[in-house]
Chains A and B, each alone.
Chain A
């Protein structure tokens, strides 16, 4: 059967070896396929954007679109496969402020946080010079820009534009449509050493932006031709030979922000920190200037002296990083103030405020109320809050705090982040009890999930892991124990088989020969005349010897036969054995048992039986007793077997070497038992063997027992020869 199995397994292995590289190859093909996952449609409308990765910016899902309301320059959101080659991406794009641009990235790779820190093509709408821009970023910027028709009123914030960007081989085409007017502007370029493949992205520069209906499709040559044709119908397009080094490097507008940096009408404004000093009693109004650090759920403005929250203000659309002027009624608070019934005026866009790095203890003092801070903490809990928010509980040292973030595209992060991870958070510290609910000293309002960064996962030694490890070790130990007992079982079985074979052999040779010789001697004696008494006597002696030898051989065979004993049967078996040996005689056999009969390992039972058998046999053979007593005494962790007779006894110093006592000793040593033989001529013989029993195995004592078992096994393995000799002794 095994012989038949082997080629089968070999075939199976061969097949596996053959299939495995194929499978790996196919898998590789699948993942490297230039159109895997195409066409792609966004699911912003369903509130899902888990496939997108942000590099900078505060990306959030709002009414079926994705929005970055930070002024960060070169904020990117990326998705797709790095192996996409020929494809088009289109989307509706809206700018959230003046002096910036927003658009689409294609064939992108090697992305980092930063303005032009990626390798790919970008097409966007730039409000600064009312242009459609197409360019190549390779950690520097090469661009081709084209002015939009000014008759359309240029590029305005809060207006939807439709952008389509297509790349086929080394031809890149972009088309911008103003849906309200239906006018189209486009650029087509042909590059020499173009970027061949990469993923898609959304990108905004300084102004922030909103994107929706993002669709990515695989493109063929006919798509390129079709797109070029539609272009040529609208206007004659000359396909550019390649992207030229532009007049100005980088996509940063050369004119900068100075143009609009004309302050508004109000002339005097106060540092925000001073609002707290306003008296509670009388109503006073104040004007402050600061940078927007949070827009939702409430507007918070911060300057270098502190932050102020501006609830329910009359405000233009604002994004994070906008510099604003706020005028309102001062409501001083314990830690920060509030400006009520405020009017907000947008001054200009600016880089977002950097976060202030503080500890949780510092934040808990309230000194950083309404400030943009950064701190670290361990995640202790997470749940969904009201109004579609995610609530995460942290602690840092002795302080506990809570972070609240709009659900937006946070689902993936929320599900992935593990409890007890260490996170770095950036957000607005709020001590207002509306948020803290007096559960924690402060709450961190995050602008988006991108404000959380996992620094380290949870430690491996949490309770669940430890339990799993312990269970694993237990299972392993059980398996090892099981295997050990199996091996032991096989070993015993092999020994038993070998003994059986030996017994067979002895029967066929020794015993038969003795029997035959006995018969032959009888025959000779029958033939010897009766007047030769000496010969008769000698022949009688000879047949007695032969019969005796036959007897011995038979006894050896019987000893070799496996007894297969349960410990409970040990005494019965010994009694039966004794009765058989004294058969026909007048020897009395007495057995007795003390203590509670316990289950014993097979080895011990077997050894006790063999030694007992030998002792009884010695008694019957040599001592000529009238009574043999066998007693078994079970004690707490040992068992004692006592075989005594009232026979002739022997002189210890002379005869200890004989009578199979050496064999008994060797057997006893095999189970670490002590053997004692006491005898004196005319005084009978006492054979006592005391063997240690393994303790009762309980759950608690199990490992100890297991270890002992192992070491015992090792000791046994070191002296196998002695044992074998035992086995073959008669």
Chain B
């Protein structure tokens, strides 16, 4: 029951790791009904490819140099393309999942997912459904219960994690150290931690912020 190429699902793979790109392309390429249009290494290239070709589904890695997965996702949604997106990552932090879904990803898969499940997921998503595995869904709800950090709070949290003092943060953002302190307090409250050090480690652990190399 081979369909003509026009009916097959056109897939674009976005991953910075060449081994993953090659493996994935080969694996999905051998599946009937799938047509891997290409594999690119960055979000920027992905967007260009999306503009150039009609693509049904994007397999998107989250952690990439330059434009990361979430940013790419935002950019795609902004373009108003109807391409469906499955995030394919080896990360499963609460924040990653939450943000990916929040940014409009229709599926979330881990890279150790078996071929059968992956094929099912791609089919399901391209058919218009969402595909999020049970254990990821449970963590997503867990994360949804917590309140969001504001942009300013995120900004301050990042500086905090770098070990800056309130005063230094205030100077960098050109706000008073009192304001910084208020922000830090609300961050501590929202993350449900006891102090700023813990706020930083928790934030890194949950993937709310990333540590620059």
Residues of A within 8 A of B (CB): 1, 489, 493, 496-497, 500-501, 504, 507-508, 511-513, 515-524, 526-527, 543, 547, 550-551, 554, 561-564, 566, 580, 583-584
Binds A, one of B23-31, B46-54, B146-154: B23-31
**Residue interface mask B66-97, A partner, CB < 8 A = 1:** 00000000000000000000000011000000
- Contact A515–B211 (Cβ < 8 Å): no
Binds A, one of B3-11, B120-128, B175-183, B197-205: B197-205
The answer, yes or no, to whether B141 is at the interface (CB within 8 Å) is no
Q: Which residue of A lies closest to B205 (CB)?
A: A561
Q: A551 vs B110: C-alpha distance in the bound complex, in angstroms?
A: 11
Q: Which residues of A contact B129 (CB under 8 A)?
A: none
Q: A522 vs B201: C-alpha distance in the bound complex, in angstroms?
A: 38
The answer, yes or no, to whether B208 is at the interface (CB within 8 Å) is no
Q: A526 vs B31: C-alpha distance in the bound complex, in angstroms?
A: 7
- Contact A527–B30 (Cβ < 8 Å): yes
Interface residues of B in 1-52 (CB under 8 A from A): 15, 17-24, 26-31
Q: Which residues of A contact B135 (CB under 8 A)?
A: 580, 583-584
15 pairs of residues in contact across A and B, judged by CB atoms under 8 Å: A493-B163, A496-B201, A500-B204, A511-B111, A512-B15, A513-B20, A516-B17, A516-B18, A516-B22, A519-B22, A519-B24, A524-B26, A547-B114, A564-B205, A584-B135
State the 5 A-B residue pairs at the shortest beta-carbon distance, nearest first.
A516-B19, A519-B23, A523-B26, A526-B30, A564-B201
CB of A447 to closest CB in B, whole Å:
66
Q: Which residues of A contact B211 (CB under 8 A)?
A: 497, 500-501, 504
- Contact B17–A512 (Cβ < 8 Å): yes
Q: Which residues of B contact A500 (CB under 8 A)?
A: 204, 211
- Contact A519–B205 (Cβ < 8 Å): no
Q: Which residues of A contact B163 (CB under 8 A)?
A: 493
The answer, among B29, B90, B205, for a CB contact under 8 Å with A550, is: B90
CB of B13 to closest CB in A, whole Å:
10
CB of B162 to closest CB in A, whole Å:
10
Question: Given A523-B30, A550-B90: A501 and B112 within 8 A (CB)?
Answer: no
Interface residues of B in 155-175 (CB under 8 A from A): 163, 168
- Contact A564–B202 (Cβ < 8 Å): yes
Q: Which residues of B contact A518 (CB under 8 A)?
A: 23, 111-112
Q: Which residues of A contact B63 (CB under 8 A)?
A: 507-508
The answer, among B26, B29, B205, for a CB contact under 8 Å with A562, is: B205
Q: A511 vs B202: C-alpha distance in the bound complex, in angstroms?
A: 23
- Contact B194–A513 (Cβ < 8 Å): no
Size bin of chain B's contact surface: 35 or more
Question: Given A547-B114, A550-B90, A554-B90: A513 and B205 within 8 A (CB)?
Answer: no
Q: Which residues of A contact B23 (CB under 8 A)?
A: 515-523
The answer, among A521, A550, A563, A566, for a CB contact under 8 Å with B112, is: A550
CB of A609 to closest CB in B, whole Å:
12
Q: Which residues of A contact B202 (CB under 8 A)?
A: 564
Q: A157 vs B15: C-alpha distance in the bound complex, in angstroms?
A: 117
- Contact A512–B90 (Cβ < 8 Å): yes
The answer, among B26, B90, B201, B213, for a CB contact under 8 Å with A519, is: B26
Q: A524 vs B17: C-alpha distance in the bound complex, in angstroms?
A: 19
Q: Which residues of A contact B186 (CB under 8 A)?
A: none
CB of B15 to closest CB in A, whole Å:
8
- Contact B90–A520 (Cβ < 8 Å): no
- Contact A522–B27 (Cβ < 8 Å): yes
CB of B205 to closest CB in A, whole Å:
6
Q: Which residues of A contact B27 (CB under 8 A)?
A: 519-520, 522-523, 526
Q: Which residues of A contact B20 (CB under 8 A)?
A: 512-513, 515-516, 519
The answer, among A504, A527, A563, A584, for a CB contact under 8 Å with B213, is: A504
Q: A299 vs B45: C-alpha distance in the bound complex, in angstroms?
A: 116
CB of B61 to closest CB in A, whole Å:
9
Q: A547 vs B23: C-alpha distance in the bound complex, in angstroms?
A: 13
Q: Which residue of A lies closest to B65 (CB)?
A: A508
Q: A521 vs B22: C-alpha distance in the bound complex, in angstroms?
A: 11
Q: Which residues of B contact A563 (CB under 8 A)?
A: 205
Q: A425 vs B17: C-alpha distance in the bound complex, in angstroms?
A: 96
- Contact B112–A515 (Cβ < 8 Å): yes
Q: Which residues of A contact B114 (CB under 8 A)?
A: 547
Q: Which residues of B contact A517 (CB under 8 A)?
A: 19, 23
Q: A547 vs B198: C-alpha distance in the bound complex, in angstroms?
A: 33
Q: Which residues of A contact B204 (CB under 8 A)?
A: 500, 561-562
Q: A497 vs B168: C-alpha distance in the bound complex, in angstroms?
A: 21
Q: A543 vs B197: C-alpha distance in the bound complex, in angstroms?
A: 41
Q: A493 vs B114: C-alpha distance in the bound complex, in angstroms?
A: 37
Q: Which residue of A lies closest to B194 (CB)?
A: A566
Q: A500 vs B204: C-alpha distance in the bound complex, in angstroms?
A: 9
Q: Which residues of B contact A523 (CB under 8 A)?
A: 23, 26-30
